[in-house]
Structure 1
Amino acid sequence: MALENLTNKPLVEAIFEIRWYTEQPPFIGGDPNTQLILGRLFDRINENYPIYEQLPFASIPEQMAEGIVKHRFKSEKGWPLVQLGNGILTVNDTENYIWQDFKKRIIDVVDNLYIVHPSKDKFRPRYLILKYIDAIDLDLKENEFYEFLKNKMKIELNFSPLLFEKTLVTNNPIQLDLQFAFPAENPKGIVNFRIVKGQKFDNQRNLASDALIWETTIQSTDPDIPEIPSNLDKWLENAHSVCHNWFFTLVDGDLLRRFE
């Protein structure tokens, strides 16, 4: 079963990110190609992303803004969207995400980025990232949190009872932030997994609720990045396969039935 076929999928956001090496001319600062890319890229993708927004970080000088998104191109419905900055481009989608559509959009935008880049011979990616952020509501009492992780997500987390006995400390975390990094072979890179106890905001009800949030990210860095844009499709499929398998392995059982 594909993630996009889940009726009640917990997806908050799907994010693709590409970063590339920028040119830094002496005494001036900033990549001279950035403004050219902005105008040329918008001309090529505005049929699908006709709404332009300048983000708050747009006022930051270019020499200080590498890797920061400063411009946003939105579709008529708001999502999906594309973001651009000095040496960085992202493609983002949310609850209407479907993998094949998302992949097609990524390839199309990156193809156009390569076309409009004034120095194609110097276009050299630094990072490729595919990230999924998922969240579910939590309403758990003392000790139920650890049982939830163990029984619902196959994650065992234990503290010695001696830490809490006779110390007036309750063994029910009000905050949790765990992060792990694992080497990956296909695609070559790193899988980052982060799980956080925080809050999820419901835009429709304008209401925040306690939530368990997890991020699954696969990242490849130079020199493990294949030739772009020609081999991006294969990298995306391999990266998605890893994230897909992690998601369904984590939620298999009661949670998956809740999402169906």
Structure 2
Amino acid sequence: MNPLVLWFHKLGSPPYFYRLAGRLLPWLWGLGLISLAVGLYGGLVLAPSDYQQSDAFRIIYVHVPSAWMSLFIYAFMAVNGFIALIWRIKLSETLAMASAPIGAAFTFICLATGSIWGKPMWGTWWTWDARLTSELVLLFLYFGVMGLYQAIEDRRQASRAAAFLALVGIVNLPIVHFSVNWWNTLHQGSTVRLFGPSLIDSRMLWPLLVMAVATKFLFAASLLSRARVDLLELEAGKDWARQVALADGDAA
């Protein structure tokens, strides 16, 4: 068997994933916290003030990465939900459900910081702007997935039902992303571009990109931490889970 295919098969094994995640967690938390500190220092201290918004623009270093993560995590959840529904892979079920609260947290931070930013810029805390409204719908979708998962007693049936809801809700992602192009909204258009020059000073851009990397590391660390706990609960009757529980008890 191809070594890469073999590795993916091994990754789908709960005990193998549990051990691998445990080894990765210190690195992910460390890299995430270091890059977070660098990004915040660069954005809050080193970056120059905006010529229109002055220092008020600095909330971008929390707001924008959170907005990006709200979409990224939902897509991650939906992909794992699709895998769980089609191939019934237990690890994908666990990853999909473990990512939902993290995605909801990033979405809430995005909405809260956007509201704080909107007050001095737009003169109001909230407006039913297309971007804001579709992002709010995204938060409700996260809540729906989490609520449905908790409403069904059988964990595996619950994860599949919630995964189906996540797949239905994925239609909202392009609406969130392209809303500023499709409708006349108060929300500004994209200033950071993957293709072509970004419409932001490079001294302001690099801390934003570092923050984007930091949130990815922090998401991965949070996800693996939650997934390990969920796998132990799901596999509570298995020998490997009992051995882990006994080892943790002895260590305590």
Instruction: Give the TM-score normalised by structure 1.
Output: 0.27
Instruction: Give the TM-score normalised by structure 2.
Output: 0.28
Compare the two structures and name the one with the higher helix fraction.
2
Compare the two structures and name the one with the higher strand fraction.
1
